Amino acid sequence: MTEWRREIDRLKKDRNAVILAHNYQLEEVQAVADYVGDSFYLSKIAAKVAAEVIVFCGVRFMAETAKILSPDKTVLLPEVAAGCPLADTITAQDIERLKQQHADAAVVCYINSSAQVKAASDVCCTSANAVKIAGSLPNKKLIFVPDKNLGDYIAKRLPEKEFVLGEGCCPTHAQVTPDHVEKMRARYPGAQLLVHPECCPEVTGQADFAGSTSAIIHSAESSAAQVFLIGTEIGVLFALKASQPHKQFILLHEGLVCPDMKKTNIQSVYNALANNCHEIMNDKALFDKARQSISRMLELA
């Protein structure tokens, strides 16, 4: 492991590269990253970082977002097959159809979406800023795609708006049921339940706190509680345990492991830097259009 790290550090210097890792990445990947966080944080870094090469340890839509924001940089996705089944639930054609049916609505797309979907939307959002973005739009009616659970979470917090929701969901978060909550609450009485809004409404509704991965980390940091049940991807436990070693963090359900996020390991990070794998190419016309919805998010948030 130390050998990989040494080589990665050497290549980073040689290539003037920076490593960005999502909170859901393996510990060994988070440990070699220069920046670790959620999509919102990482997109802001991608937009302003001075390095020539960005190695994006995450899934395809995240590396694509970095390229959209920094088209002149080399952006590498270490594992070419790291995708997002939630992002694959919606296409730009679906959005055009929805727009025809709801001509008075603005389209808000979750960052977990393709460049085509971002280009067809009015504004993009992440779980960290979804309520703020949706709430700041002048339209009463909003089309929110693709995550129906995050959509429901936003809609409950903005009762003055009317929502048309996509039908997708994250297969990892959607596995958690109220039964899991009941069992774990019985096993750990008094524990705080912190969940991601990609969980179903029946789970989110029982949580002490629901929010993005970064918001979950901040919520645990500012809480006096000592024991927490965590309803999001297992990778978040790394940051939680590192920043608060005296507290206990327990995964709400053993299935909270995203197979795509776990494809990247320290070897693939090395390989990306050594062999330029796998470069995201700039599709100029598409990316210029997609940039508008991401830039609007960055302005509004």
List interacting residues with ligand CIZ (CB under 6 A): 22-23, 38-40, 111-112, 126-128, 196, 212-213
d(CA 290, CA 123): 9
3-class SS of residue 82: coil
d(CA 79, CA 269): 8
d(CA 118, CA 267): 31
> DSSP assignment of 10-71, as one string?
HHHHHHTEEEEEETTS-HHHHHH-SEEE-HHHHHHHHHH---SEEEEES-HHHHHHHHHH-T
d(CA 56, CA 116): 20
Cβ nearer to ligand CIZ, comparing 67 with 196: 196
Cβ nearer to ligand CIZ, comparing 22 with 118: 22
Cβ nearer to ligand CIZ, comparing 51 with 87: 87
The CB-of-98 to ligand CIZ minimum distance in angstroms stands at: 22
> DSSP assignment of 198-242, as one string?
TS-HHHHTT-SEE--HHHHHHHHHT---SEEEEES-TTHHHHHHH
d(CA 176, CA 288): 38
Cβ nearer to ligand CIZ, comparing 127 with 192: 127
How would you classify the pairing of strands 248-251 and 227-231?
parallel
Cβ nearer to ligand CIZ, comparing 38 with 152: 38
The CB-of-219 to ligand CIZ minimum distance in angstroms stands at: 12
The CB-of-212 to ligand CIZ minimum distance in angstroms stands at: 3
The CB-of-22 to ligand CIZ minimum distance in angstroms stands at: 6
The CB-of-146 to ligand CIZ minimum distance in angstroms stands at: 12
Residues 6+ apart with CB under 8 A from 72: none
The CB-of-57 to ligand CIZ minimum distance in angstroms stands at: 12
**Contact assessment for residue 198 and residue 147, using Cβ atoms and an 8 Å cutoff:** yes
Cβ nearer to ligand CIZ, comparing 270 with 296: 296
Cβ nearer to ligand CIZ, comparing 111 with 165: 111
| Dihedral sign, Cα of residue 139, residue 143, residue 146, residue 149 | positive
**Contact assessment for residue 216 and residue 194, using Cβ atoms and an 8 Å cutoff:** yes
Cβ nearer to ligand CIZ, comparing 105 with 168: 168
The CB-of-227 to ligand CIZ minimum distance in angstroms stands at: 22
Cα-only R_g, the chain: 19
The CB-of-233 to ligand CIZ minimum distance in angstroms stands at: 8
